[in-house]
A and B are shown apart, each in its own frame.
Chain A
């Protein structure tokens, strides 16, 4: 059994991960992974957005407040943004957010932002496997928050 298959097995955990994916690159990347039947753990729920620049940092905050155990945001690679510069703004906002939520009691490892192009199906698969693994290790988000 390959490592990937091992990773994917045994995913009856109660982990919930929300991913915000830009329509042009990463949503397409996740589609490519699907088309290539690249198996992934089932904890991730994808919300489609036009651009990472659309991500108000309040969305990941809200997701954590509502009980998401992990939040992943993914968009086009820098310089490749469909809207030219949306991901550059997103990069600054989300980087600050990462350290801020950590301070507020939401481990920064629960949050990540990445760049995945529409052709990078394999990269998407690996990213999801690693991220889910990471969140599983952290366990459900601190319950005393809710």
Chain B
């Protein structure tokens, strides 16, 4: 073994605290070290050249570079070493900058520590072996979960780029939350007017396979080769046949709450979510359907009116759950968000007052396609309100309900709703109780000004302490913290700015996808700044509000960003996998399969050896190299390449010498 050692001055970053000359001299006397030098900047071109030349001239077989963190330049040096023909994994870095020179002042102690870190690294590198990566074919199809605006944008960008897309949506139609909005800030353009064309494009694009009313059942595989099982729930209407004429809905005798309108106005047991739905098909909700209800009670009811009136015989009560298997190379998660349920706020009536409504319910009241055809009528008696009060931060920035974060979008949509209220009811008065006004994007601040000046919305800084009904109206009592006095407003309608929470079921999905999520259930990006749409699991990406509260422009930007990332990934025919994976030494495996039970990636399988014994085996292309199996194996029959037991033991022993 011929070890070469290079220590970097990093200008004065290292050499200012660590006596690099002394370290190089000390290391030169260690066994197996045949070359030990100090260089000004090892990562620079001349520095790399010196390393490359030394490898060739001194026929070095192991390389140790003492410099910055391997997270900075491990890849740089591996490439340099590879150019000499030496296996790039016969190399190890000692981190003497971030972990030594930058955190210590005492030159003697820092030098001593650097020497120990280098000795530790040399002990490890001596136990390195040549490692080789595998290549796997890439499936050039992408799965997008969630058909809101982020998912639609990603789907269109991918499909336009020529890639096959499978778009899975939980509801019967794509569109997501944006489809429920009336107009959007900061331009007051009609939400459906800008969304519908995209929905139609997504529905008609030849590269996009739309699977609605479906959820992800299971995910296996790895980047480039995921296998996904999609559970298609039974809509009891054949989506292929249904033409969306709506006659079934008109004739259906069974009343049901209108989910799309969030309970405002009535719906039917068979329904088309909204006129612009894509696909425009009817779906039966089993729990409200007279036929299914009577079936459950054991009675034979022959309602089935929808079936009788359907011209195209699309209604089919016999449809069963269906499971569709899809193979894809990458997955984009765009499952969006839900609104905070305000019923925990007892001071706002705990959800009992009909005229205290959520912001999204108000959107439906404002919408021309909503239950009131765009006329603002309050739910209790249908009266047009004269005074509307908006309350901000309901389930945002509130530790008492476990939601300390800012939902980001509420300040803006409250301003928008105030403007729209004035537009619909010019005689009305609006009050907005707020904590702070957060309007930090392009044209947002101006928009808030417009609400204040043009729409005359009266902003009151302070929390609302109590809402209670009186004389057919609602008394909103709060405090104006700027004036330092109590405020009471007699309101006809109170609209709450419900905060953004993670989408129902998104954590279960994250577990299926094996991606982490934070304490509030939002899915975690790979790096808060540098990997905003990647996850820590290769091949899985995030777009939109599933990662955290986001407005429409940001969601669209992320949809496109993921499409760009995925196109980059899928443009390759083959992917190189990391060689730093686990390996079972089958002659030593005792066949207890504890490894298989703990592996988070299902990367371990059972194989039968010639003598008939059953042992574990790692699938190197699936293994992510976490080493959980290695620590679990009682007989230490599994090694993790690059981090073997012997290497870590050698490091410990070197440090304890």
Contact = CB atoms under 8 A, between A and B. Distances in A.
Q: CB atoms of A and B under 8 A apart anywhere in the complex? A: yes
B536 A82 contact: yes
A55 interface: yes
Interface residues of A, number: 50
A119 interface: yes
Interface in B613-629: 624-628
Interface in A71-129: 79-86, 89, 93, 118-119, 125
A89 B627 contact: no
A67 B656 contact: yes
Nearest to A119: B528
Interface of B: 69-71, 95, 97-99, 102-106, 109-110, 112-113, 116-117, 120, 511, 514-519, 524, 527-528, 536-537, 580, 598, 600, 624-628, 630-632, 636, 640, 643, 645, 648-649, 651-653, 655-656
Contact of B98 (A34, A39, A93): A34
Nearest to B69: A31
B640 A50 contact: yes
A47 B644 CA distance: 13
Contacts of A16: 655-656
Given A53-B631, A82-B536, A66 B517 contact: no
Contact of A49 (B102, B109, B627): B627
A47 B652 contact: yes
Given A18-B655, A68-B656, A84-B600, A54 B627 contact: yes
B117 A49 contact: no
A131 interface: no
Contacts of A125: 103
A34 B106 contact: no
B628 A45 contact: no
Contacts of B536: 24, 82
A55 B519 CA distance: 25
A56 B524 contact: no
B71 A27 contact: yes
Contacts of B524: 80
Given A50-B625, A50-B627, A79-B516, A37 B103 contact: yes
Contact of A86 (B98, B600, B643, B653): B600
A67 B652 CA distance: 10
Contacts of A66: 652-653, 656
A55 B648 CA distance: 10
A12 B643 contact: no
A62 interface: yes
Contacts of B626: 50-51, 53-54, 82-83, 86
A32 B589 CA distance: 40
Given A31-B98, A84-B514, 10 more contacts: A28-B71, A30-B98, A34-B102, A45-B116, A54-B631, A54-B643, A55-B631, A62-B652, A63-B655, A66-B656
26 contacts: A16-B656, A18-B652, A30-B99, A33-B103, A34-B99, A37-B103, A39-B104, A42-B104, A49-B643, A49-B648, A53-B631, A54-B640, A56-B630, A59-B648, A59-B652, A62-B649, A66-B652, A68-B655, A79-B517, A82-B516, A82-B626, A83-B600, A83-B628, A84-B537, A85-B600, A89-B632
